[in-house]
Structure 1
Amino acid sequence: MRLRVLGSSAGGGFPQWNCNCPNCDGLRRGTIVARPRTQSSVAISANDSDWLLVNASPEVLQQIRETPGLQPARQIRDSGIAAVLLIDAQIDHCTGLLMLRERSAPLPLYATAEVLDDIGTGFPLTRLLGHYCGLQTRPIALDGQPLDLPFLEPLQVHAVPIASQPPPYSPFRGQARPGDNIALMVHNPLSGRKLFYAPGLGQIDAATRALMEQADVLLVDGTFWTEDEMIRLGLSAKPAAEMGHLPQSGAGGMIALLDSLPPGKQKWLIHINNTNPILREDSPERAILAAHGIQVAFDGLEIEL
């Protein structure tokens, strides 16, 4: 089983088009040691031919160009993308669906009822795409059963609800429902290994922690370094928790959580905001992560399971 990170940044990418924070300005000027990143998305395959696209970012066309396996060219019109799965209804995770509109048949789309509701009303992607390729919606039931993904066999993919926030356009912003945000547990029964994928984690409850303890590979929320990161830079009045993200540093942060898990796990951070100092490869914050055995995902990273 192979997971490829197509995009490792939070919304806006890195550098963000209108941002002149020290990170974005430094990357443009070439004065910091960092690499550009597109918005968060991964692809999963059991055979390197048929792929599950997890989130469709606004840069999906660039990501396909940079990942030849997603364009296998077996016929005049072709794609290695067998289906798309949305973990939430955030704009940076679903806008790329519009870029896939030239598909010759309806695109299979896996999402919870809550996410399908948001992208059918507040951001009516399902109606828009009905005028183009259309969608075959496959509602995800959070019943503990593996998803029906025959093209990924023998892999088993479980969707689990997690605590975070629905998008700002959702009428349920601030009063999240189970199903507004999910994580994925991917199990390869041939190797016995498991991967836990959760780019948005606002809180860690007992059920989420139990899943993280079971996983061999963790690919989890790396959005902010501190709770007040955006406030200190004058970019927002909202702390990380209000945006639905657990910062890395501080008591109860992601570093402390990952430290408390059983040893021997691969630990990766993804969905990294453009303001986060861990984007600088020679920063003190990156050195702290390394000392704790935590790595920072990048576009093009491949993980075998």
Structure 2
Amino acid sequence: MHFLVLGASAGGGLPQWNCGCRNCEDARLGVIPPSGQSSLAVSPDGESWSILNASPDIRQQMLDCPKLHPRTLRDTPVASVLLTNGDIDHIAGLLSLREQTPFSLFATGDILNVLAKNRIFDAVNRDKVLRTPISLDQEFALQPGLSARLFAVPGKVPLFMEGDTVQTDLIGEQTVGVRLTAGDKIAYYIPGCAQVTPALLDQLSDADQLFFDGTLWDDDEMIRSGTGVKTGQRMGHISVSGPDGSVAQLAGIDAAKTFIHINNTNPMLQPDGPERAFVESAGWTIAYDGQEITI
């Protein structure tokens, strides 16, 4: 399996347009590489690609990756797009893929209903882009030679669908992880997850490669930095650090492990910082735009 990291950041990207935090300023100065909003491309052969989550930055992300350029007059090497939730940073890019070129669109029924309730997504012609609902725990062909299976992970509904009461550890079709198989290789993509449960640990036990939610370093990061008023848990994201964080909880997973969907405030983005040293010493890598991984 071949992977292209199209976007390593959480919603807003790095630098975020309205943010002057240390990471964003360093990204503007070139100290830290800028990165787009979370999206990953995967291929069984390096020629035909499936995109996992269509970020608002997808046009530039595809421009920056020659392997995703058209090969003839009207063409794309993108065979399919798969959505893992209905967040804006994962669905808005569909509107940039509306120019009448066919590909397959896969998601759970709940996620496809988010698109159906927003008429703007009708601009993506259903005659050209077939919307296929996928049941949880159902194996299906993402493209020839590449199979996928969706499974529930703790999460919440998209921000724009929240009501007065928000449950952030829902288990269902609104937030899913993806198990990918090609030949004898197995990879997982989980850009959003509120907690690591025993069921999730069991699920990941066969992983060769894991891309996992790296949004925040600790739960009150945005409050402490003055950039927000919500905790990570309130946003539906597990922290990287701490005894209940992803590094500790996933320590027993024997796979290559990569953090993706990283918020602009996360201190592990600092190349010489102790946070980055910590995650790297624990066997993790931090995704960056343009990164290529083959397993």
* TM-score > 0.5 by shorter chain: yes
Q: Residues 43 and 152 (structure 1 numbering): CA distance in 2 closer, same or farther, change over 3 Å?
A: farther
Alignment CA distance shift 1:103-1:238 (3 Å): same
Q: What's the CA shift for 1:69?
A: 1.5
**Matching of residue 128 in structure 1 with residue 123 in structure 2:** yes
* Counterpart code for 1:145: Q
Equivalent of 1:44, from 37, 42, 46?
Answer: 42
Q: Percent identity?
A: 38
> Which 4+ runs in 1 deviate beyond 6 A?
none
Query: 1:87-113: CA deviations, max 9, x gaps?
Result: 1111011111111111344x4210111
Q: Where does residue 92 of structure 2 map in the other structure?
A: 95
1:161 aligned partner: 152
Partner of 2:4: 4
Match of 2:132 in 1: 138
Q: Which residue of 1 aligns with 2:28?
A: 28
Q: C-alpha deviations, 1:3-54, integer Å up to 9, x for none? A: 1111100000000011001111232234xx4211111001111122221111
Give CA-to-partner distance per residue, 1:253-275, whole Å, 9 cap, x none. 0110122x144x21110000000
Aligned pair count reads 292
- Aligned residue type for 2:250: L
Unaligned runs of 5+ in 2: none
Q: Indicate how the Cα distance of structure 1 residues 43 and 29 shifts in structure 2: closer, same or farther if over 3 A, else same.
A: closer
Q: Which amino acid letter does the alignment assign opposite residue 124 of structure 1?
A: R
Q: Is the 8 A contact 2:38 2:90 kept in 1?
A: yes
Question: Structure 1, unaligned stretches of length 5 or more?
Answer: none
* Counterpart selection for 2:191 from 199, 205, 214: 199
TM normalised by structure 1 equals 0.90
Work out the CA distance in 1 between the residues paired with 2:92 and 2:127: 15
Q: CA 1:221–1:232 in structure 2 vs 1: closer, same or farther (change >3 Å)?
A: same
1:212 maps to a residue whose letter is L
Instruction: Tell me if 1:298 matches 2:288.
Output: yes
The normalised TM-score by structure 2 is 0.93
After superposing the two structures, state which structure 1 stretch, 53-62 or 133-142, moved more.
133-142
Cα RMSD after superposing both structures: 1.8
Partner of 1:64: 62
